[in-house]
Homo-oligomer: A and B are copies of this chain.
Amino acid sequence: MVKVNDNYLKLPGSYLFSTIARKVNAYAAAHPDKRIIRLGIGDVTQPLAPAIISALHTAVDEMADAATFRGYAPDLGYEFLRSAIAENDYKARGCGIEADEIFVSDGAKCDSGNIQEIFSVDNKIAVCDPVYPVYVDTNVMAGRAGSYDPATETWSDVIYMPCTADTDFAPMLPKETPDLIYLCFPNNPTGSAVTKSRLQEWVDYANKVGAVIIYDAAYEAYISEEGIPHSIYECEGARTCAIELHSFSKNAGFTGVRLGYTVVPKELKVGDVSLHALWARRHGTKYNGAPYIVQRAGEAVYSKEGKEQLKKQVAYYMNNAAYILEGLKSAGYTVSGGVNAPYIWLKAPNGMTSWEFFDDLLENANVVGTPGSGFGPSGETYFRLTAFGSYENTVEAIERIKKL
């Protein structure tokens, strides 16, 4: 008699963004006259840059001709893309990451969910609190999180690292020693960043205790200040303790195009076992590569035209971020983030909970954001807005919020 994976049954409710979508859809259905502005899920709104569109069309045409048609992609991704990544995202920043340490995928969400598979179920994970739910939920599914306590909204076997106003929304080294440490900087959801010297402390700590850091760098393109690392491999010793995840969703607007990559350095070993070899095996066995046309689109991200166009696109969103930040500040809100990240983290006003403020904003301003409590208990009373709307919508949303 077949049995299900009981770990799935431990998961409370549904995935955060599905819940939001349901609530918003219900409100929209009941109020068809209201124009809802979505600054919630972190989806981009600007069209793909011309250099990327052009690369896509060219690649589509190649697929129409037997002489240039491409079937299965190489296991790790096409050399042209992996080389462009190694050159631009690493060597240009002084990080010695080679093309064959890069695994091309269909996005950082998948990779951040799948990467735990190569580790033992007995490992203990540490996560920031608040945190991107995928890190925790995928570990729950694997049976690594213990049991859920609805009162505290925490898992018995997960080490939480509170990121609050007291810590500048950055985690402190945990008291209990973890085996796997999930870090995301610039941070989702708080929009905070850490300096290179702070990140170096984490690398040194992981090397000392024999932990592996899963470093999510999905938002690095939004870093505007000096001294903030774009990659964990800027830190000494990271090659022996860190895996880095990258997305093309936010720097190039690929949320609907789907492309990402993961770096597993060849020196990264557990005893004699190469994590690069394990991830290669997982990749080769359970995955069949990102579409050829999408990998060509990824290559265009690193072209001269692509870089210039995307710099403008990021600047467009960061202009929104600045508008949100200033607008909310002037309206008396307590806000952070939005300087090195496209996320603005604000305190719900008047002692409201995160979901109370969500409902208030949806019903009275027709603006959708993300309740901070959805990211973890320390997110309670906080709220996330994203800079990924159009400028016009962003301005209108802030004006509506100011009038509340």
Interface residues in A1-41 by Cβ distance below 8 A to B read 1-6, 8-9, 11, 14-15, 18, 41
Shortest distance between the CB of A287 and any CB in chain B (Å): 6
With a CB–CB cut-off of 8 A, which chain B residues contact A275?
A: 4
With A134-B286, A286-B110, A288-B107 already in contact, the answer to whether A69 and B45 are too (CB < 8 A) is yes
> By the criterion CB–CB under 8 Å, are A48 and B63 in contact?
yes
Give per-residue flags for A179-199: 1 if the beta carbon is below 8 A from chain B beta carbons, else 0.
110000000000000000000
With A4-B275, A134-B285, A141-B282 already in contact, the answer to whether A53 and B48 are too (CB < 8 A) is no
> By the criterion CB–CB under 8 Å, are B63 and A114 in contact?
no
Q: Which of B45, B138, B288, B292 contacts A71 (CB 8 A)?
A: B45
With A2-B270, A275-B4, A294-B291 already in contact, the answer to whether A47 and B66 are too (CB < 8 A) is yes
With A3-B123, A64-B50 already in contact, the answer to whether A18 and B75 are too (CB < 8 A) is yes
A18 CA / B118 CA spacing, docked (Å)? 19
Binds B, one of A158-166, A207-215, A377-385: A207-215
> By the criterion CB–CB under 8 Å, are A66 and B43 in contact?
no
With a CB–CB cut-off of 8 A, which chain B residues contact A244?
A: none
Query: For residue A44, which residue of chain B has the nearest CB?
Result: B71
A284 CA / B17 CA spacing, docked (Å)? 9
Chain A residues at the B interface, C-beta cutoff of 8 Å: 1-6, 8-9, 11, 14-15, 18, 41, 43-48, 50, 53, 56-57, 60-61, 63-66, 69-73, 75, 106-107, 109-110, 113-114, 117-123, 133-134, 137-138, 141, 179-180, 209-212, 253, 255-258, 270, 273, 275, 278, 281-282, 284-294, 390
With a CB–CB cut-off of 8 A, which chain B residues contact A119?
A: 2-5
Q: Which of B44, B109, B179, B278 contacts A287 (CB 8 A)?
A: B109
Can you spell out 21 A-B residue pairs with CB atoms less than 8 angstroms apart?
A2-B123, A2-B180, A3-B119, A3-B179, A3-B270, A4-B118, A5-B117, A5-B121, A14-B284, A18-B75, A45-B66, A45-B71, A56-B293, A71-B256, A106-B106, A107-B288, A117-B141, A134-B285, A134-B286, A257-B293, A258-B290
